[in-house]
């Protein structure tokens, strides 16, 4: 972000370097959201093992010790379930800057793909539900299987967040739905987001087109969801690393997109499937369809 800041006078940069600097440090991100009355889990900065222990007295177990920077796909998080794990968790990060966060006993992980153009226009895509495997996003269900009140609450929080962030573009805003149907933000990604890939076939406007519209100062596109859709990530097999057999799958309502990565690594994102309810299929019907084809898109060594 500092490099971008140095060239900002000569070129328009979106999202702004100021916003990127806030978001790339999770402690600064959470502090910024807290200062703008955006709901988040309780958190503190910790700079020593003793401060971690003091924080755990406040938050109780479990709690999450997090690296402030360079954390994604579950990397950079350590869930501390008991006193016996405290030193192990602290040693795991080897001198990185850290924060401690109170654990949210969520009933669903969700996200909103939100956009803001250079004129300040803000739009959100419908709330989606995210299911993870070993902390990696495995599938996204659009729309989320929740009630309208939760969906509207999440959309408002996403819009409020975009309103206080500086700059234009598409942002992935990850959230938790609590047991009481409250919404708290987990984290923000200042870019097109894996959980928004469904929009390529499900929506009037894809997140990629929306991003271009946003940074070019065009009117934002229609975010209406046209079809129920399941996005399923193609992940590298846990049991090998190396070249893999090319996947070739074709069906009227199933769209396969591979990312042309030559080498498979355990849980590496190699592509995704969109299973689209073009004939008004329900989410349950699409999930049944997914269960029938999972074996056909399993990554296998050559």
47-65: per-residue pLDDT in tens?
999 999 999 999 999 999 9
Whether the pLDDT of residue 38 is over 90: the answer is: yes
DSSP 37: T
74: confidence class by pLDDT, cuts 50, 70, 90: low
Whether the pLDDT of residue 277 is over 80: the answer is: yes
CATH superfamily, region 108-297:
ATP-grasp fold, B domain (3.30.470.20)
Q: Does the fold of domain 108-297 match that of domain 2-102?
A: no
Residue in 218, 113, 196 with CA at minimum distance from that of residue 162: 113
User: Strand, coil or helix: what is 164?
Assistant: helix
34: confidence class by pLDDT, cuts 50, 70, 90: very high
Main-chain dihedrals φ then ψ at residue 243, nearest 5 degrees: -70, 150
**Residue 84: is it exposed, middle or buried by C-beta count within 10 angstroms (0-12/13-18/19+)?**
exposed
Task: Give the CATH number of domain 2-102.
Answer: 3.30.1490.20
CB 249 within 8 A of CB 296: yes
**What pLDDT was estimated at residue 9?**
61
**What pLDDT was estimated at residue 12?**
83
Arithmetic mean of pLDDT over the chain: 94
The residue with greater pLDDT, 176 or 76, is 176
Whether the pLDDT of residue 4 is over 70: the answer is: no
Q: Which of 5-9, 75-79, 202-206 has the lowest mean pLDDT?
A: 5-9
The pTM of the full predicted model, rounded to 2 decimals, is 0.93
Whether the pLDDT of residue 11 is over 90: the answer is: no
User: Strand, coil or helix: what is 111?
Assistant: strand
Any idea where the domains of the chain sit in the sequence? 2-102, 108-297
Main-chain dihedrals φ then ψ at residue 166, nearest 5 degrees: -95, 130
Q: Which of 181-185, 217-221, 244-248 has the lowest mean pLDDT?
A: 244-248
**What pLDDT was estimated at residue 179?**
96
Section 153-175 average pLDDT:
95
């Amino acid at each position: 972000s500092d490099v971008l800041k140095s060239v900002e006078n000569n070129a328009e940069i979106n999202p702004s370097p100021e916003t990127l600097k806030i978001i790339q440090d999770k402690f600064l991100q959470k502090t910024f959201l807290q200062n703008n009355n955006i709901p988040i889990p309780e958190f503190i900065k910790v700079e020593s093992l003793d401060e971690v222990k003091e924080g755990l007295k406040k938050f109780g177990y479990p709690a999450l010790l997090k690296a402030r920077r360079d954390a994604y796909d579950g990397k950079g998080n350590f869930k501390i379930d008991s006193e016996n794990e405290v030193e192990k968790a602290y040693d795991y990060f080897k001198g990185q800057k850290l924060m401690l966060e109170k654990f949210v006993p969520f009933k669903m992980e969700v996200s909103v793909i939100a956009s803001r153009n250079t004129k300040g226009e803000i739009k959100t895509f419908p709330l989606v539900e995210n299911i993870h495997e070993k902390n990696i996003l495995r599938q996204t269900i659009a729309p989320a299987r929740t009630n309208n009140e939760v969906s509207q609450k999440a959309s408002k929080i996403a819009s409020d967040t975009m309103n206080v962030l500086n700059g234009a573009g598409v942002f992935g805003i990850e959230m938790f739905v609590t047991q009481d149907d409250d919404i708290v933000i987990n984290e923000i990604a200042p870019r097109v987001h894996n959980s928004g890939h469904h929009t390529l076939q499900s929506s009037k406007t894809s997140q990629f087109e929306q991003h271009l519209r946003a940074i070019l100062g065009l009117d934002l596109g229609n975010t209406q969801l046209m079809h129920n859709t399941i996005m399923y990530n193609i992940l590298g097999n846990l049991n090998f690393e190396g070249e893999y057999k090319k996947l070739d799958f074709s069906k009227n309502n199933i769209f396969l997109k591979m990312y042309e990565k030559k080498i498979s690594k355990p849980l590496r994102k190699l592509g995704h499937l969109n299973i689209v309810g073009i004939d008004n299929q329900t989410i349950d019907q699409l999930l049944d369809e997914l269960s029938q084809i999972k074996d056909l898109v399993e990554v296998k060594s050559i």
